[in-house]
Chains A and B, each alone.
Chain A
Amino acid sequence: MNFKTIAPIGFLVLAIAAIILPKDIFTAILVFLMILSGVVTIFSNIDIFGDDERDK
């Protein structure tokens, strides 16, 4: 299981943790990781650069 596979689950878990846990600097890290998981989830599925390379 690689990072791409677990990114959507990570997105959810990090979001829940950020809401539940006490709000401090650790929450900012959780939100940052959540955004990262969201970006990985989308970009691992749209193949935005690979497609253009194949066309060339």
Chain B
Amino acid sequence: MNILAVTTSYSFELTLICMIAASLYFLLERYRLSGKYKKVSTLAFLTVALAIVEYLGMRDYFGIENLSSNNVNFPTEFRYLTWAVSTPLMLYTFFVLSGFNVIYKKTAIATLLLNFTMITSGFFSEMSFSRNLASLDFAIIMFAIGFSAWLGIVYIYNYLLPSYLTSIKSAEQKYLQHCLSSLAKIVTFGWLIYPVGLVISFYDPSLETALMRELIYNLGDLFNKIGFVIICYFCAIKLSKLRN
């Protein structure tokens, strides 16, 4: 056990307490939103609250006992379970915020399907590679499918949704555009950490790299999850004020 292993272990704790703080914040500050935007607070709360449950599991799984053993195990299953539940909620939050979940229902469904493809393919790719359950070719094909699905989400958030925003009233449009540009950056750059981390592990399966990857994934989860929903939440506050 070295300092990197201990730091990685504590990064689970750090992400967990930040998720708890964020979920309480979304609950306690809910009164600042008008009736139309209360659903944004609910989705934001669910995103981080469900992550809390999984992070509790991951923290216990990645404890001192695991780190002291000769064969360190990584909580890949827990991580993908969290993503399977929280990422669709995150992506859908903007659709609810902008009202696109009603006007552009097909785009919302396409986004959720792409997200589901991305997570399940990534899961099979990582599991088959890390646990030696299938050949490397299978892992790479699954990775390619998941990566293509992610590119689809990037296209929707960077090109399709901004084009939809032109049909919205000017006062609301300004806030939604600002919010969407920030979310697009998170989806594009923040989420790219995960496929890159997986590709690196294909070529460098050492323990040190795997530990650092877990640490980066935890920090990535912290900023990507909380960041995404808090930006939506603050946009909802501004839109609520506009309505009042």
A contact residues vs B (CB 8 Å cutoff): 8-9, 11-12, 15-16, 18-20, 23, 27, 31, 34-35, 38-39, 41-42, 45-48, 51
**Number of chain B residues whose Cβ lies closer than 8 Å to a Cβ of chain A:** 32
Find out whether the CB atom of A38 lies under 8 angstroms from the CB atom of B215: no
26 pairs across A/B with beta carbons < 8 Å? A8-B188, A11-B190, A12-B190, A12-B192, A12-B196, A15-B193, A15-B220, A16-B193, A16-B200, A18-B215, A18-B216, A19-B196, A19-B197, A19-B200, A19-B212, A19-B216, A23-B212, A31-B215, A34-B219, A42-B227, A45-B179, A45-B182, A45-B234, A46-B230, A46-B231, A46-B234
Please name all residues of chain B whose beta carbon is closer than 8 Å to the beta carbon of A18 when the two chains form the complex.
212, 215-216
Find out whether the CB atom of B234 lies under 8 angstroms from the CB atom of A48: yes
Distance in Å: Cβ of B47 to nearest Cβ of chain A? 15
Q: Does B108 contact A (CB under 8 A)?
A: no
B contact residues vs A (CB 8 Å cutoff): 4, 178-179, 182, 185-186, 188-190, 192-193, 196-197, 200, 204, 208-209, 212-213, 215-216, 219-220, 222-223, 226-227, 230-231, 234, 237-238
Q: Which of A35, A41, A42, A51 sits near B237, CB closer than 8 Å?
A: A51
